[in-house]
Amino acid sequence: MRIGIVSETYPPEINGVALTVHSFATGLAARGHSIDLIRPTQPHPHHDEPGIDAIDVRSGALPRYPGLRFGLPAGRMLKQHWTQQRPDVVYIATEGPLGWSAARTATRLGIPLCSGFHTRFDQYADHYGVGFLSPMVRGYLRRFHRRSAATLVPTRALAEELIAMGISNARLLRRAVDTRLFHPDRRDDTLRTSWGADRATPVVLYVGRIAAEKNLELALQAFQAIRQKVPQARYVWVGDGPARAALQEAHPDFIFTGIQRGEALARHIASADLFPFPSLSETFGNVIVEAMASGVPVVGYSQGAAREHLVDAVNGYVVEPGDAEAFIRATAKLAANPGLIRHMGCAARDSMAGLSPDSVIRDFEKLLCEMAEENLHEHAAAVATI
């Protein structure tokens, strides 16, 4: 089967959407499908991948997010390309100008279409002082996803939210985690020493985009509470973003490692002791399951991956959204109790054992095949009535 995948972010960019889309593309290619990948031109070179035919389109810089691009509309090019090499089904991962033009083109050509809901852009507006735009953004997302036969979401809770928004085609496709890559055995004492941490020093970890929508102020407040109980605690920040420079200047005692990938990222996560995740803007939060697979207990709000996979006081702590004081208390309690960290870390690792990437790809493949077959039957029925 020939599968079109359209995404405005893709490796070498590092973010949850890019890595998820990459896993879809490579996983489907490994199962023998031909992948027609449409993505924006990127400043950094990328490597060809088996089974993936990549086409770059014009792009622009994303405001306030250096290094990230968005795709410009490419309807004319897509119409010509998909007419010559028609995909059996198209998956659109992002709702930007490129995604919108791809959805419109696929609809006009009668190609079955599904979409992914990865980012709550309607909630981002509040973090950048333009909350009055949220209803407009929500309306755009609703119109976008109503074009598709299915809107794929990683959690049951998000599916319910989208249905309440008027996107009735929401369908669950769970996320997976590479438990061979993210593993407690990746813990590196030499790396911890470079952070100024010995075996008795709790290392608190942040992984992700260092930006306002990640609720960074609460992360800082939680660490201050930790320091009151464990003065020698260290805070390691993995990632980059528009808020990094100011944060690094204000907190010279924090360790900023920049973006880490692959085995290096796995070593950084496994070498930490706890992972407070204060963000309220995630649809899932891949790094939560990566931390848990690495044997690192998580403190998170009851949404996304935390709601799906955390069991309160068993493999981490789950806090009701918006309860900042409870989040701070849980984080400080965990950091001050080495035995609890070890116990919850083992439970976190055990709870990730069943999240197989292969099973997720098979589920995705099944959905796409069903869509393609249904489209063929509808076309045959239409021809028969002529």
User: Do 54 and 193 fall into the same domain?
Assistant: no
Distance CA 91, CA 94 (A): 9
Residue 384 amino acid letter: A
Distance CA 22, CA 39 (A): 11
pLDDT, one tens digit for every residue, the chain (386 residues): 999 999 999 998 878 889 899 999 999 999 999 999 999 988 776 778 999 999 999 988 776 665 667 788 999 999 999 999 999 999 999 999 999 999 999 999 999 999 999 876 656 555 555 565 678 888 899 999 999 999 999 888 889 989 998 999 999 998 889 999 999 999 999 999 999 999 999 999 999 999 988 999 999 999 999 999 999 999 999 999 999 999 999 999 999 999 999 999 999 999 999 999 999 888 788 999 999 999 999 999 998 889 989 999 999 999 999 899 999 999 999 999 999 999 999 999 999 987 888 889 999 999 999 999 987 766 555 545 55
| Half-sphere exposure at residue 148, Cβ-oriented, CA atoms within 13 angstroms | 31
User: Do 65 and 141 fall into the same domain?
Assistant: yes
User: Do 115 and 237 fall into the same domain?
Assistant: no
DSSP characters over 91-108: EE---SHHHHHHHHHHHH
Global pTM reads 0.80
User: Do 161 and 87 fall into the same domain?
Assistant: yes
pLDDT at 378: 63
User: Do 48 and 24 fall into the same domain?
Assistant: yes
User: Do 88 and 51 fall into the same domain?
Assistant: yes
Residue 31 amino acid letter: R
CB-count burial class (<10 Å; 0-12, 13-18, 19+) for 375: middle
Q: Which residue segment(s) compose the domain that 94 sits in?
A: 2-176+356-384
User: Do 35 and 168 fall into the same domain?
Assistant: yes
User: Do 171 and 190 fall into the same domain?
Assistant: no
Distance CA 330, CA 314 (A): 13
User: Do 36 and 66 fall into the same domain?
Assistant: yes
DSSP characters over 97-159: HHHHHHHHHHHHHT--EEEE--B-HHHHHHHTT-GGGHHHHHHHHHHHHHTSSEEEESSHHHH
User: Do 71 and 197 fall into the same domain?
Assistant: no
Nearest of 195, 218, 204, 187 to residue 335 by alpha carbon: 204
User: Do 264 and 316 fall into the same domain?
Assistant: yes
CATH of residue 17: 3.40.50.2000
In the block, residue with structure tokens 């794929």: 152
Alpha-helix runs per DSSP H in the chain: 16-30, 75-84, 97-109, 121-127, 134-146, 156-165, 189-194, 216-229, 244-250, 262-270, 286-293, 304-309, 324-335, 338-351, 357-384
Number of separate domains in the chain: 2
In this structure, the chain runs to a length of 386
User: Do 366 and 289 fall into the same domain?
Assistant: no
